Chains A and B, each alone.
Chain A
Amino acid sequence: MGWNMSVTAISLQNLDVSYGTTKVVQGVNIEVAEGESFALVGESGSGKSTILRAIAGLAPDWTGAISVLGAARGHQVDRDFATRCQMVFQDPYGSLHPRKTVDAVLSEPLLVHGFGNRSARVAEMLAAVGLDQRFRFRFPHQLSGGQRQRVAIARALMLEPKVMLLDEPTSALDVSVQAEILNLLKKLRRQQGLTYLMVTHNLPVVSFMCDRMAIMQKGRVVEIAPATALHDGSFTDPYSQSLYAASGGNPDRKDQP
Chain B
Amino acid sequence: MTALLEIENLRVSFPTASGRVEVVKGLSLSLGRERLGIVGESGSGKSMTGRAILRLIRRPGRQQADRMVFDGIDLQARTERGMRQLRGARISMIMQDPKFSLNPVMTVGDQIAEALVTHERLPRRDVRARVIEMLHSVRIHDPERVMDLYPHEVSGGMGQRIMIAMMLIPRPDLLIADEPTSALDVSVQAQVLDLIDELVREKGMALILISHDLDLVARYCDRILVMHAGEVVGACAARDLHKASHPYTRGLLAAVPRMEETREELPVLDRSAWGGT
Contacts and interface: CB of A to CB of B under 8 A. Distances in A.
B212 interface: yes
A215 B8 CA distance: 48
B15 interface: no
A44 B260 contact: no
Interface string A214-257: 00000000000000001100000000001101111111110000
A58 to B, nearest CB: 22
B267 interface: yes
A174 B187 contact: no
Interface stretch (B143-151, B166-174, B250-258): B250-258
Interface of A: 43-45, 174-176, 178-180, 182-183, 186, 201-205, 207-208, 230-231, 242-243, 245-253
Contact of A250 (B212, B260, B265): B260
Interface residues of B, number: 33
Contacts of B184: 44
Contact of A246 (B155, B190, B213, B215): B190
Interface of B: 41-42, 155-156, 184-191, 212-215, 219, 251-252, 255-261, 263-269
Given A183-B265, A208-B263, A208-B266, A176 B258 contact: no
Contact of B212 (A175, A208, A243): A175
Contacts of A174: 41-42, 212
A203 B189 contact: no
Nearest to B194: A246
30 contacts: A43-B186, A45-B155, A175-B255, A176-B41, A176-B252, A176-B255, A176-B268, A176-B269, A179-B267, A180-B268, A182-B257, A183-B268, A203-B259, A204-B258, A204-B259, A205-B257, A207-B257, A208-B261, A208-B266, A231-B259, A242-B187, A243-B186, A246-B190, A247-B259, A249-B259, A250-B258, A250-B259, A252-B258, A252-B260, A253-B260
A207 B258 contact: yes
Contacts of B212: 174-175
A252 B259 contact: yes
B265 A186 contact: yes
B255 A179 contact: yes
Given A176-B252, A176-B268, A207 B261 contact: yes
B268 A179 contact: yes
Contacts of A182: 257, 266
A168 to B, nearest CB: 10
A179 B265 CA distance: 8
Nearest to A247: B186
Given A203-B259, A205-B257, A43 B185 contact: yes
Contacts of B261: 204, 207-208
B43 to A, nearest CB: 9
Given A208-B263, A249-B259, 8 more contacts: A43-B185, A174-B212, A176-B252, A179-B266, A230-B260, A246-B189, A250-B259, A251-B215
A43 B189 CA distance: 10
B256 A204 contact: yes
Contacts of A207: 257-261
Contacts of A183: 265-266, 268
A3 B255 CA distance: 27
